[in-house]
Amino acid sequence: MKITANAKINLTLDITGIRPDGFHSLRSVMVPISLCDELTFEENEKFAFSCDIKALETNDNLCVRAAKLFFEKTKKPDGVSIHLQKNIPFPAGLGGGSADAAAVLKGLNSFYGMPICENALFELAEKLGSDVSLCLLGRGALCEGRGEVLTPIKSIGVMPVVIAIGEGRLSTPDVYRRYDAMNLPVRNDTDFFLSALAANDRERLLSSLGNAFEPVADELCPETKTLRKRLSELGAANARLSGSGPSVFGIFNDEQTARLAVDVLESEGFSAYFCKTVK
Ligand code: C5P
């Protein structure tokens, strides 16, 4: 059995405070994109996990942790092998690890004939990471709490997207720490976005995208700023950091311009991917 694990982008990301557990409370509109990893499930004597990228083939991998939680909860015999074909760049702010973990939960549940209900799957997802719930949901949502409190949103439709990433790397905890130290004003892109979505105003919707981490990423990894600028110059209606970076996405009005932007960015030495928002 094969399933895909879609990456996500954050169309907005407002940080609204720090919680007693040390995590940050946020309001973020996240949508899945067609860029995806692939997971293959096969019967096996005992549990095995493999990945085409050997450095990811560890017991710490979120896929293995997701599988462990699933078997603990269901008490099913763990006779399955899972192979992960990695296509989503990482670490990138695209939720690749979270998408894989969600796909393992969904895939195992289907492989074993649905032993647990959807609510229980979401409870397991929450334990694995802030973005796993959204990846399990598989559609656009307003994400609150530490990212796991989901309110599905009306579809934004299928839009061409270019993901761009350079050589620099950013660690999520470092980005949150630096964000706190910078004492930035709280943004409210999410409400502007939601009101534009309700009004079916595409132009206003695209101009309301934003990410509170951009000033942090600009400082810690300046090429994220360069990439946002290049995507806009190459025709993106808007270009923003995704999650805690370092990937940047551009939303385009037409596919041809987006594909051309990928070619140009690649010729400039960046990694770039054409994909689409998932309806
Ligand atoms: O949940 P996840 O594994 O994505 O979180 C990685 C790290 O990012 C956390 O350990 C925490 O430092 C930070 N984080 C946070 N607030 C959030 C999500 C993540 O402070 N809402």
DSSP 171: -
Q: How many angstroms separate the CA atoms of 149 and 126, rounded?
A: 9
Contact of 26 with 131, CB cutoff 8 Å: no
Closest ligand 1 atom, residue 172 Cα = 8
Note the pLDDT of residue 138.
Answer: 96
Note the pLDDT of residue 279.
Answer: 79
Residue 41 token pair: 């499930």
Contact of 25 with 18, CB cutoff 8 Å: yes
Q: How many angstroms separate the CA atoms of 149 and 130, rounded?
A: 9
Q: How many angstroms separate the CA atoms of 125 and 243, rounded?
A: 18
Residue 129 token pair: 């990471």
Closest ligand 1 atom, residue 173 Cα = 12
φ and ψ at 35, to 5 degrees? -60, 125
- Describe the strand order of the beta sheet including 248-251 as a list of residue ranges: 238-241, 248-251, 160-165, 271-276
pTM for this predicted structure: 0.96
Q: Which residues line ligand 1 (CB under 6 A)?
A: 23-24, 26, 129-131, 146-147, 172-173, 176
Q: Look at residue 262 and tell me whether its pLDDT is greater than 90.
A: yes
Q: Grade residue 3 by pLDDT with cuts at 50, 70 and 90.
A: very high
Residue 205 C-alpha to ligand 1 middle, in angstroms?
A: 27
Closest ligand 1 atom, residue 98 Cα = 4
Question: Average of pLDDT values for 96-120?
Answer: 97
pLDDT tens digits, 115-165: 999 999 999 999 999 999 999 999 999 999 999 999 999 999 999 999 999
Residue 215 C-alpha to ligand 1 middle, in angstroms?
A: 18
Catalytic (active-site) positions: 8, 131
Q: Is the peptide bond before 160 cis (omega within 30 degrees of 0)?
A: no
Residue 26 C-alpha to ligand 1 middle, in angstroms?
A: 11
- Residue owning tokens 């559609």: 139
Kindly report the average pLDDT of the chain as a whole number: 97
Pocket test for ligand 1, best of 176, 180, 213, 216 (most atoms within 8 A of CB): 176
Using CA positions, which residue lies closest to atom 21 of ligand 1?
146
Note the pLDDT of residue 270.
Answer: 98
Question: Average of pLDDT values for 226-243?
Answer: 98
DSSP 54: G
Q: Grade residue 227 by pLDDT with cuts at 50, 70 and 90.
A: very high
pLDDT tens digits, 168-221: 999 999 999 999 999 999 999 999 999 999 999 999 999 999 999 999 999 999
Closest ligand 1 atom, residue 146 Cα = 21
Residue 23 C-alpha to ligand 1 middle, in angstroms?
A: 6
Percent of the chain with pLDDT over 90: 100
Residue 55 C-alpha to ligand 1 middle, in angstroms?
A: 22
Helices (H), the chain: 62-74, 96-111, 118-128, 132-137, 172-182, 189-198, 202-207, 214-220, 223-233, 255-267
- Residue owning tokens 């969904």: 106
